């Protein structure tokens, strides 16, 4: 049986702002042919779902994340609200 670790040896973990044990895990899997990124959703030590991202789709996802973060920062500055992070 394969041991599952909630924290990858390479990749990234981002915790949910609700602070209830939820987090998102991202890991790149180069061993899967041309490579695939896997996003998994966790609650405590249990994985509740996964999503595999093809290498060619990563730039589109990254661009969307960067643009939405920039828009949120701009909106916070216009409303004179403190930025969250």
Instruction: Give residue 59's pLDDT.
Output: 92
pTM for the full model?
Answer: 0.66
Q: 34, 52 in Cβ contact below 8 A?
A: no
Q: Read off φ and ψ for residue 18, nearest 5 degrees.
A: -75, -10
- Per-residue pLDDT tens, the chain, 85 aa: give them: 445 555 556 789 999 999 889 999 999 888 767 788 999 999 999 999 999 999 899 999 999 999 988 887 776 666 665 566 5
Q: Which of 33, 35, 43 is nearest to 10 (CA)?
A: 35
Instruction: Give residue 28's pLDDT.
Output: 87
C-alpha pair distances (Å), 77 with each of 27, 29, 69, 74, 82 = 33, 38, 12, 5, 7
């Amino acid at each position: 049986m394969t041991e599952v670790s909630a924290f990858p040896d390479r990749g990234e973990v981002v915790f949910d702002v609700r602070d209830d044990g939820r987090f998102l895990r991202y890991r790149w899997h180069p061993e899967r042919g041309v490579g695939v990124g896997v996003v998994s959703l966790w609650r405590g030590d249990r994985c509740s779902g996964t999503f595999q991202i093809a290498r060619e789709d990563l730039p589109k996802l990254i661009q969307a994340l960067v643009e939405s973060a920039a828009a949120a920062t701009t909106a916070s500055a216009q409303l004179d609200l403190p930025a969250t992070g």
